[in-house]
Structure formats: C-alpha cells, structure tokens
Structure 1
C-alpha cells in the first residue's frame, strides 16, 4: 500500500490533471463536504461547501479553454497520521501572460485530513503574488 505522501501526491496531481482537462467530476473528487477554498476571483471571503466549490469552476474552465495552461511546477507535501498539508507552484496562465511575466506562478496550498482511511481536501487556497 502506498504511503501517505505518495497517496496525497497522486490525489493532487490527479486533481490538477482534471482541472487541465476541464473535468468537473475529477476536480470534485477527494474533497470534504465542509471544504473551505480561498481563490483568486471573488468572493474574497472564501467559498464554503462542495456546492459552492462546484459552482466556482465553470468560469475558470471557459477561460482555460481559450488556451491557458494549468501545470504543476513544484509540489511539496508534509503528512501526519490524520492531517497533512501541501504547497505547490503552478503555471496557470495564457501564452500572453507568460510572454509578459515568464516567472508568473499560481501559489496553491492544500490542507487535508484522513477520514476512514481516505485523504480528503478540507482547505484549498489559490493566489498570485501581488506586486
């Protein structure tokens, strides 16, 4: 059986691949019912629960379909017995974005908890640096 870090890495890379494909069911997988997400677009007070999380993705998929990428550059994971966190940098932008700002990266943080032997994302935070 894979260790916790390996399981979490597979969960997050699978999530990122689902985002890249515009696969809403894949994006929703492995998230806790009481998920809290802080995202780049409003509401800046956060999104709470799976229904709100689901509703937040279609506008991103529409934007991404215009040629934007969503690719993990780095991913670091720390796992305890029943809680874990991960942080990543992702290439998230259009070719025009990267032509203007080649080093631009989306910052991503996950808080996870293990429920009945399964890792679930309970907290998700996406941000870009503000210059």
Structure 2
C-alpha cells in the first residue's frame, strides 16, 4: 500500500468531481490518458481514446442543464507503485428534481507516468432488473 499515491489519487478524484459539477469539459478530460478505454452506462458499448470520451461527456452535459448533484459516496482507493484503482458509488442528477437523482457505480484505473496520475480505464454502471430490463437508479447504499 502506498498512502502518498492513494492521497494523490483522492485529490485527483476531488478535482475531477468538481470539474463535472462545474461542467468544465477540459477539467473533466484532463486526467484521461490518450489511450483510455471507458465503459460508460450511457449510449455506447465502449469509448476508445480521450477525444471520443470527451465528446461523450459533452453530450452527457446536455442532459442536465440546470444545477446538478454529483456526489461521491463510499470511496475506496488502492495504489501500489505506478498503478491505482478506485471505486465508489456516485449520486447524480438535477438538484432541482430529487426524483431524477440516483446512484451509479464507478470503477477507475490509474497509471502514473512521468509523475502524473492518468485515468487509463473508467467504468460506470447501474444495476438493472433482469425481468423488466430497467435500470435501478433508486437503490441506496
């Protein structure tokens, strides 16, 4: 375990979360490696490359145009050497309509290159009901 690395990753996550709340696309994309592979819960099966994933985030910002909730719960970070992983539950949605807010799951893999942590893989998901084929956004930790 490397507590300094874990602290650096936690700070990176805090900065990134604020960039999402601020709708700062450059700040959102900043920690992504050029060769990121992302599995987002919306639209595509996968996104390959920083430019493709940044464009996806830009599209996502159009769904929530007013004040937004984007909160991290139960954050866990592990880091050893130049690799790290974090997972958390993320509550997101419009702050003016609590009924449209829900929890998703995030798992993010980091690699340190030239002293900087980069996101090499990001995975967002929501549990779903097998019978109805509907996502279960109303579950709570």
TM-score range, shorter chain: 0.7 to 0.9
Stretches (4+) displaced over 3 A? none
Distance 1:115 1:31, change over 3 A: same
| Match among 82, 90, 104 for residue 106 of structure 1 | 104
Distance 1:51 1:66 in 2: 25
- Tell me how far 1:60 sits from its aligned partner: 1.5
Q: How many residue pairs are counted as aligned between the two chains?
A: 124
Is 1:20–1:71's contact at 8 Å kept on the other side of the alignment?
no
Structure 1 residues not aligned, in runs of 5+: 99-103
Distance 2:54 2:116 in 1: 21
Distance 1:86 1:127 in 2: 14
Distance 2:59 2:67 in 1: 14
| Match among 112, 125, 129 for residue 127 of structure 2 | 129
2:2 paired with 1:4: no
TM-score, with structure 1 as normaliser = 0.88
RMSD across aligned C-alpha pairs, in angstroms?
Answer: 1.5
Please name the residue that 1:97 is paired with.
100
2:30 paired with 1:32: no
Structure 2 residues not aligned, in runs of 5+: 130-141
Which whole-Å deviations, capped at 9, do the CAs of 1:87-123 have from their partners, x for residues lacking one?
011111241224xxxxx41100001111011111000
Q: Please state which structure has a larger fraction of its residues in helix.
A: 1
TM-score, with structure 2 as normaliser = 0.82
